[in-house]
Amino acid sequence: MLNPFSNDAFNMVALTAAINKIPNNYGRLEQLNLMPAEGVRTRTILIEEMSGVLNLLPTMPVGAPGSLGTQGKRKVRSFVIPHIPHDDVVLPEEVQGLRAFGSENDLEALSNLIAKKLQNMRNKHAITLEHLRMGALKGVILDADASTIYDLYSEFGITQKTVNFALTTNTTEVISKVLEVKRHIEDNLRGEFMTGIMCLCSQGFFDALTTHSKVKEAYQRWQNGQILFTDNRTNFSFGGVVFEEYRGQATDTAGNVRKFVADDEAHFFPLGTASTFRTFYAPADFNETANTLGLPLYAKQAARKFERGTEVHTQSNPLPICLRPEVLVKGAKA
């Protein structure tokens, strides 16, 4: 009997291309295109900081001269890109009836089955990436078990900026708090530019903000122009900052539901920057991908022991990062 998975349609290149074509159905940060993807050839990246400007150092062949730096104080930091594998299996029962004995005429049906597997695996990688990207926006990138992968404030030797909005106090001048956030971000761009500032906030923070005595009238006026065609929890602009309720969450390996933004918290960040945010992708640990530019996702299949089905392996090697964590501001409700 011929093995249908030996067809070129199921080799590493074809499966990798297929999984990268599947639309990402989850992720507000993906929609914002805040952290554009950049492939690298190694599993470790070096980031150079000089006079507040960050540059990637190029890799060189062994024995080649190093890149030349200009005079001044420089800091070089090394980051290992996380490795996130995920496996599934196609059992004989799932293939049963898709093809005739000794024939590959039903290749299309088998491809549809694999596509369903890849879609499910793609969604899991997507929500994992959203979690990592939200961590980069908060300045602390966490793993699935809540352990810290990178504390960007510690890595870059800075102190996290937190603004207490005191939204439980009716007399608080909220606009002054918003301007404090804006001025801090503007002062720390260090030559970088931006097109605006956005805040992703928890339900508790958003409700307290929009019902506060100093904000309520502005929110009602904004609603009057938006109520017919949009969700009133998104894109509310106040003091030149766009506020949006963020409800991203996922179940961790222990079965606990984890909110990506904690209750009563908010996180501010600049939009439209040139080099402040990135998602670096390292190549997969396959023989054929060594020293190639990393892709967002990889997929590969292999027969199980005793031909008891086919294993489907996927992996992603992403590092979403904020290269200027001093522009990140945390907001507190109380």
The pLDDT, as a whole number, for residue 262 is: 94
Residues 180 and 302 in one domain: no
The angle that helices 107-138 and 12-21 make with each other, rounded to 10 degrees, is 60
The pLDDT, as a whole number, for residue 1 is: 45
68 located within any domain:
no
pLDDT tens profile 37-56: 999 999 999 887 765 555 56
154 located within any domain:
no
2: pLDDT confidence band, cut at 50, 70 and 90?
low
Residues 264 and 282 in one domain: no
Q: What is the CATH number of the domain that holds 253?
A: 3.30.1930.10
The pLDDT, as a whole number, for residue 34 is: 92
- What is the pTM (predicted TM-score) of this model? 0.86
Residue 137 has pLDDT above 90, yes or no: yes
Residues 163 and 246 in one domain: yes
Residues 23 and 81 in one domain: yes
Look at the chain and report how many structural domains it folds into. Answer: 2
Residues 248 and 301 in one domain: no
Q: Which residue has the tokens 């992603």?
A: 316
The pLDDT, as a whole number, for residue 73 is: 58
Residues 39 and 176 in one domain: no
Name the token pair of 16: 């990798």
pLDDT tens profile 55-73: 566 666 777 777 665 555 5
C-alpha angle with apex 103: 102 to 109, nearest 5 degrees?
130
Residues 102 and 216 in one domain: no
300 located within any domain:
yes
Average pLDDT, the chain: 86
* Overall average pLDDT of the 95-110 stretch: 60
Q: What is the CATH number of the domain that holds 294?
A: 3.15.30.10
Q: What is the 3-state secondary structure (H, E, C) of 176-232?
A: HHHHHHHHHHHHCCCCCCCCEEEEEECHHHHHHHHCCCCCHHHHHHHHHHHCCCCCC
The pLDDT, as a whole number, for residue 5 is: 65
307 phi/psi in degrees, rounded to 5:
55, 35
Residue 119 has pLDDT above 80, yes or no: yes
Identify whether the C-beta of residue 156 lies closer than 8 Å to the C-beta of residue 240: no
67 located within any domain:
no
Asked which of 150-154, 251-255, 289-293, 318-322 is least confident by mean pLDDT, the reply is: 251-255
Residues 196 and 130 in one domain: no
pLDDT tens profile 248-276: 998 887 788 899 999 999 999 999 999 89
Give CA–CA dist 8/13, Å, rounded.
Answer: 9
C-alpha angle with apex 142: 125 to 236, nearest 5 degrees?
80
Share of the chain above pLDDT 70, in %: 84
Residues 44 and 190 in one domain: no
C-beta atoms surrounding 25 within 10 Å: 11
Residues 9 and 119 in one domain: yes
302 located within any domain:
yes
Give residue 49's domain range: 4-57+74-148+276-321
Give CA–CA dist 203/209, Å, rounded.
Answer: 10
Residues 13 and 81 in one domain: yes
Residues 24 and 142 in one domain: yes
